[in-house]
Structure 1
Amino acid sequence: MADKLRVGVIGAGGIAQSIHLPNYQKQADKVELVAIADVAHERARQAAEQFGIRHHYADYEQMLREVELDAVSVCTPNKFHAPAAIAALQAGCNVLCEKPPAMTVAEAEAMAEAAARSGKILTYGLHYRYTPEVLALKRFIDAGELGEVYAARSHAVRRRGIPGWGVFTNKELQGGGALIDIGVHMLDTALHLMGYPEPELVMGSTYQRLGTRKGVGLLGQWDWQNFTVEDMARGFIRFKNGATLVLEAAFAANVEKADVMQVQLMGVEGGADVFPLKIYQEKQDTLIDVTPVYLPKKGGHEAEVEAFVAACLGGPKPLATPEQGVTLQKIINAVYQSAETGEAVRIG
């Protein structure tokens, strides 16, 4: 490996320019941004100029052939996660792929297999794992402060938060709406804190009630006439260890707050709300609430990219593994399958 980690980026859209590229730049002593590719070549060229990247391409396969890279961020629409990540792994690169893992379980499994064959790192942009609240609560859980966590709730609900940009409302390119975009974050956070139990049974319902109507857009005006995803998803997951999880995800719902991202855990020895972090216990015949103070301020995105770079340079492995990506994809797709068929889905 060169003196610095040679990084390329596939996809030059919003998540690349607002998250990946700036956070790689913050580690200029360890990272060299070498190349960027986007099918909209002008967008790649502009990003290259803005971030001081030497090479820009319209074709990421050409980039992987012509430029020597150690690591790649995949920042494309969901439809292209699997082919781009697999191509980068096969080219000998470590990969940080944005969430969700893929469009289908088969794609997520193929990505995990490609990582295993290559011996390279594959991790996902599940940055809430790196927030100070989740890092702190995971330490409490690992120390037994909550005991066995047997019930959880993941909640990612916006009042009128349908994105007015990008392809977030295009099912062909994204695979779904609120669940696969924002719900995936809180679902993964809950699973991570629960120890990623194996799912056994999934029930789900999806709704398309507000996204296909013109209305107030708190995140810009969306294309309501071409809205092809769900604006709300709800689900129930039972795990093989007997634990259960209720999930809710919505781009648009008639609720009070503009945006709520929350995970609730209930264990034998204690429970917790994660954002902000508060722990609920019974000690010395007294019910107590424990509120951490002075948690670190570093954001999850920055910490996630730092962890990926450190792992590529021989440090600890990233928190999100390819195998967990497969499990996460199984649950997401099972919710959609259950919603479509009206039947519970068993996961073997």
Structure 2
Amino acid sequence: MKTIKVGVIGGGGIAGAHAKAYLKLPFVKVVAVADLMEGRAAQFIEKYSLSEAQPFTDYRELLKLDLDAVSICTPNVSHHQISIDALRAGKQVLLEKPMSVTLSEAIDMVHVSKQMNRMLSIGFQPRYDPNMKMLREIVQSGQLGNVYYAETGGGRRRGMPGGTFISKKLAGAGAMIDVGCYSLDLALNTLGHPRPLTVSAFTTNHFGTNARYHPEASKFEVEDFGVAMIRFENDMVLQFKISWAMHMDSLGPTIFLGTEGGIKVTPYGSGPWAGIWNDKVGSMKMFQDDEIGQISRDLALVDHDLNLFHEKIRDFAEAVRDDRPAPIPGEEIVIQQAIIDGILRSSQQRKEVSVELPLNITEV
């Protein structure tokens, strides 16, 4: 069996999750770790018992090694440049979400991945939930008819992070790209990645900038709440809403309305940090008509104990080993980045804005 040599760029918590998942794969060796903080890579290697790994402070030195692939687990604003450098160094890339901060960065990243014939796979582990897959199959099969409206998002009553997550310089944005990207991926992947045309949005940070609710209020620079209406070219609209904190227990389920039926989906879990789409499905219910009248039924969920994060890492590593395409290709996530870019522009300008994308997104 071919052994895959992997480097990990970034030494924070999410990088640790990558390392633990790689350690469970017998055909993978983590041979290098880079973190710009002096000594942090060496500490990471010791913590996760990566005995064959070399430490680096400059990721560009790591990229000079004979590696098959890298996991990029760094702050959001660095995703673009590190991905470009890794792809140009001939490495296959698994990039943690969000893909980038701006749309132009995302387009550039996909262009280089195609130019170099290297995969750029983006880390959206909820796609590996069998129930998420079932939802997509139902919608794509036409059981709902033509879907004309969808609604997604989620909200934590309290669940604001701190540190790099609230710095515009490092994160680029807040709840929209931290947890909102999961909701958008759920909807867009289910719908088959339709092309967005316009976005009208509103964002606030009332909670994050209030010392009553956040210990780093004076440093809080991003949004903690956002809502948007996205219009697509197939005469469909999507309502998107997300919150890190609010005076409410929920922002409601994800729904898909079609000419022949509808589906309501609730997220898994409970508690102050629950209510967003970064885990499993809680329930699904189908609404249709039959020859007698209106009917509704609960859809039987697939009972599983999969570690979705580990499934993401495994699929990427196997794709590298078997020379398969990227499991979650960057060209799909470009659409999401276009919407997030539109949300931020619309909120700032306080008006509806147009979304500009290359004519053929898969060939940017």
For normalisation by structure 1, the TM-score amounts to: 0.92
Instruction: Give the share of equivalent positions with the same residue, in percent.
Output: 33
Which runs of structure 2 are paired with 1:142-153 in the superposition (5 Å)? 142-153=140-151
Which runs of structure 2 are paired with 1:16-55 in the superposition (5 Å)? 16-17=15-16, 19-27=17-25, 29-53=26-50, 54-55=53-54
Q: Which of residues 284, 289, 294 is equivalent to 1:278?
A: 284
The amino acid of 1:6's aligned partner reads K
Gaps of at least 5 residues in structure 1 are none
RMSD: 1.8
CA contact (8 A) 1:212 1:224 kept: yes
**2:362 aligns to what?**
none
Give every structure 1 segment of 4 or more consecutive aligned residues whose post-TM-superposition deviation is greater than 4 Å.
Answer: none
Three-state SS of the structure 2 residue aligned to 1:24 is helix
CA contact (8 A) 2:3 2:27 kept: yes
Query: Partners of 1:341 and 1:88 in 2: how far apart?
Result: 35
Gaps of at least 5 residues in structure 2 are 268-281, 357-364
Query: Partners of 1:325 and 1:77 in 2: how far apart?
Result: 18
Q: What are the superposed Cα offsets for residues 160-205 of structure 1, whole Å, 9 maximum, x if unpaired?
A: 21114x4100011111111111111101110110110000010111
Q: CA deviation at 1:39?
A: 0.7
The amino acid of 2:223's aligned partner reads E
Three-state SS of the structure 1 residue aligned to 2:208 is coil
Evaluate the alpha carbon distance shift between residue 76 and residue 300 of structure 1 in structure 2; reply closer, same or farther with a 3 A threshold.
same
Q: How many residues align?
A: 337
Q: What are the superposed Cα offsets for residues 193-246 of structure 1, whole Å, 9 maximum, x if unpaired?
A: 011000001011110211111235xxxx64111100111111010000011101
CA contact (8 A) 2:140 2:192 kept: no
Query: Partners of 2:33 and 2:253 in 1: how far apart?
Result: 34
The amino acid of 1:327's aligned partner reads I
Evaluate the alpha carbon distance shift between residue 316 and residue 135 of structure 1 in structure 2; reply closer, same or farther with a 3 A threshold.
farther
CA contact (8 A) 2:168 2:221 kept: yes
Q: What are the superposed Cα offsets for residues 111-134 of structure 1, whole Å, 9 maximum, x if unpaired?
A: 001100111110111222122221
**1:70 aligns to what?**
68
- Residue 345 of structure 2 is aligned to residue 337 of structure 1: yes
The amino acid of 2:303's aligned partner reads L
Q: Which of residues 256, 261, 266 is equivalent to 2:257?
A: 266
Three-state SS of the structure 2 residue aligned to 1:111 is helix
Three-state SS of the structure 1 residue aligned to 2:335 is helix
CA contact (8 A) 2:286 2:299 kept: no
CA contact (8 A) 1:307 1:318 kept: no
Three-state SS of the structure 2 residue aligned to 1:160 is coil
CA contact (8 A) 2:41 2:56 kept: yes
**1:183 aligns to what?**
180
Query: Partners of 2:262 and 2:215 in 1: how far apart?
Result: 38
The amino acid of 2:158's aligned partner reads R
For normalisation by structure 2, the TM-score amounts to: 0.88
Which runs of structure 2 are paired with 1:85-100 in the superposition (5 Å)? 85-100=83-98
Three-state SS of the structure 2 residue aligned to 1:41 is coil
- Residue 247 of structure 2 is aligned to residue 254 of structure 1: yes
The amino acid of 2:11's aligned partner reads A
Q: CA deviation at 1:44?
A: 1.4
CA contact (8 A) 1:131 1:299 kept: no
CA contact (8 A) 1:75 1:98 kept: yes
Q: What are the superposed Cα offsets for residues 122-167 of structure 1, whole Å, 9 maximum, x if unpaired?
A: 0111222122221121222233322322211111211121114x41
Evaluate the alpha carbon distance shift between residue 271 and residue 303 of structure 1 in structure 2; reply closer, same or farther with a 3 A threshold.
farther
Q: Which of residues 197, 202, 206 is equivalent to 2:199?
A: 202
